[in-house]
Amino acid sequence: MTRSDQDSWDLASSVGATATMVAAARALASEATNPIIDDPFAAPLVRAVGLDFFRRLVDGEVVPEGSEDGERDLQLETDSIAVRTRFFDDFFLNAARDGIRQAVILAAGLDARAYRLSWPPGSVVYEVDQPQVVDFKSTAMSKLGATPTADRRTVSIDLREDWPDASRRSGFDAGQPTSWSAEGLLMYLPPEAQDRLFDSITGLSAPGSRLATEFHGDAGRTMSERARQFNERWAKVGCDIDLSGLFFDGERSDVVDYLTGAGWQVSTRPRRELFADYGLVYPDDEESQLRNIVAVTATLR
């Protein structure tokens, strides 16, 4: 699978399938003993997409038998998504607690926060993603009888296009503070599109707005290495989805420096510490590139 400037996808193909993969991990994480997240929509949404491997995964039909490594890898992937999900959940809930009533979930995929978080009255949650992704989730959630817990508004557009204008047309109000998330997104954008994304976010943000994302310090070629590791890990448990070629290589801006230069006050939390925050242990001997990811939060001065 290779990428092109105007490529598009649904939830069963290309970058869209990664949203289904992440939702499958959220489904497993929600079933864990002492779960740190609760996403009751993840499993039904994965079943609705219908990709066989992920359907079998959420239905407990994938057992990495005889492979301790496979089991361990699956556990680490599940824990990583659980920690990531919880980090963004807490980010949005803290922003809401502090009075921010407008949230934008960029690259929302099968994220069900607009349906499962306790948003305060008056909250508006925008979800931005490619048209087929947005349409599928909206329809699937209606069929499940799910009701949003905020005023959910969708923006169906590619984030390499003029999504700020599309957001404004959906009612986005740049005059009030916003909480923004870019979760599991940056590596699927070309480096210059990543910069443009943050420029647009900054341009649309009233003072006091907040932003959460993650950043891989060793950008560039390590993204492809990461894809290879993903493939290896999931192939061990029978996954036939090929993630290679989905990432855009090349030097990209350091998110912390870029946001700081744009007027944001930025803080970071290494993956190991984030695991510990939520009572999970990041394996000492873990060699994966994922180890170097940091969780980023920022507030516009």
Q: Which residues pair with 264 in a beta bridge?
A: 300
Within 8 A by CB and 6+ apart from 107, the residues are: 128, 129, 159, 182, 183, 184, 185, 188
Beta strands 124-129; 178-182: pairing state: unpaired
Residue placing its CB nearer to ligand SAM in the complex, 72 or 160: 160
- 76: which 2 tokens? 């680490």
CB of 244 to ligand SAM, least distance (A): 15
# residues near ligand SAM by CB under 6 A: 21
Would you give the binding string for ligand SAM spanning residues 164-193, x where CB under 6 A is met?
Answer: -------------------xxx--xx----
Residue placing its CB nearer to ligand SAM in the complex, 203 or 263: 203
Task: By CB under 6 A, name the one of 103, 133, 274, 294 that touches ligand SAM.
Answer: 133
Closest CA to 90 of 117, 126, 114, 121: 117
Q: Which residue is nearest to ligand SAM (CB)?
A: 109
Residue placing its CB nearer to ligand SAM in the complex, 5 or 285: 5
Beta strands 178-182; 210-216: pairing state: parallel
- CB of 11 within 8 A of CB of 46? no
- Cα separation of 207 and 131, whole Å? 30
- Which strand (E) or helix (H) includes residue 213? strand 210-216
237 binds ligand SAM (CB under 6 A): no
CB of 154 to ligand SAM, least distance (A): 12
Q: Count of CB atoms within 10 A of residue 217's CB? A: 14
Residue placing its CB nearer to ligand SAM in the complex, 31 or 176: 31
110 binds ligand SAM (CB under 6 A): yes
The CA-based diameter of the chain, rounded to the nearest angstrom, is 57
**Of the listed pieces 53-61, 129-137, 208-216, 261-269, which binds ligand SAM according to CB under 6 A?**
129-137
130 binds ligand SAM (CB under 6 A): yes
- CB of 245 within 8 A of CB of 73? no
Q: Contacts with ligand SAM in 189-218 (CB under 6 A)?
A: 189
18 binds ligand SAM (CB under 6 A): yes
Residue 259: half-sphere exposure toward Cβ, Cα within 13 Å:
26
CA-to-CA dists, residue 94 to 71, 210, 214, 221, angstroms: 34, 10, 18, 35
CB of 156 to ligand SAM, least distance (A): 9
Residue placing its CB nearer to ligand SAM in the complex, 1 or 206: 1
Task: By CB under 6 A, name the one of 107, 114, 141, 262 that touches ligand SAM.
Answer: 107
Closest CA to 187 of 147, 223, 225: 223
29 binds ligand SAM (CB under 6 A): no
111 binds ligand SAM (CB under 6 A): yes
Residue placing its CB nearer to ligand SAM in the complex, 39 or 73: 39
Residue placing its CB nearer to ligand SAM in the complex, 16 or 70: 16
43 binds ligand SAM (CB under 6 A): no
Residues that bind ligand SAM (CB under 6 A): 15-16, 18-19, 22, 107-111, 129-130, 133, 158-160, 183-185, 188-189
